[in-house]
């Protein structure tokens, strides 16, 4: 995957914690630590968005739709 170089502003305390992780060899460098933190945050936001959308579903309606779909399809399934 291609990469792009960016400049960021970060609080000194946060940077100190990142540097401590780099010194402990948790991450190979600052860039890797920040890249992984951003990726993790984006994934978490996407999971939350999916959970919010799922919460809007009506379980009874979804079950009824699934049951209706199954009953119509059962006759079309091959016999084994």
* pLDDT tens-digit map of 38-60: 999 999 988 888 888 878 888 88
**Confidence at 78, pLDDT banded by 50, 70, 90:** low
pLDDT at 73 over 60: no
Provide the pLDDT for residue 74.
Answer: 59
Nearest to 22 by CA among 7, 34, 10: 34
> How many Å apart are CA 63 and CA 21, to the nearest integer?
48
Show the CA angle centred on residue 72, arms to residues 67 and 78, nearest 5°.
Answer: 115
* pLDDT tens-digit map of 1-43: 799 999 999 999 999 999 999 999 999 999 999 999 999 999 9
Provide the pLDDT for residue 13.
Answer: 98
Six-digit token pair at 33? 């630590």
């Amino acid at each position: 995957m291609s990469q792009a170089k960016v400049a960021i502003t970060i609080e000194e305390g946060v940077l100190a914690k990142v540097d401590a992780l780099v010194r402990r060899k948790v991450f190979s460098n600052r860039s890797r630590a920040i890249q992984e933190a951003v990726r993790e945050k984006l994934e978490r936001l996407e999971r939350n968005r999916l959970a919010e959308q799922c919460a809007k579903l009506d379980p009874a309606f979804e079950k009824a739709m699934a049951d209706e779909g199954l009953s119509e399809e059962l006759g079309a399934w091959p016999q084994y």
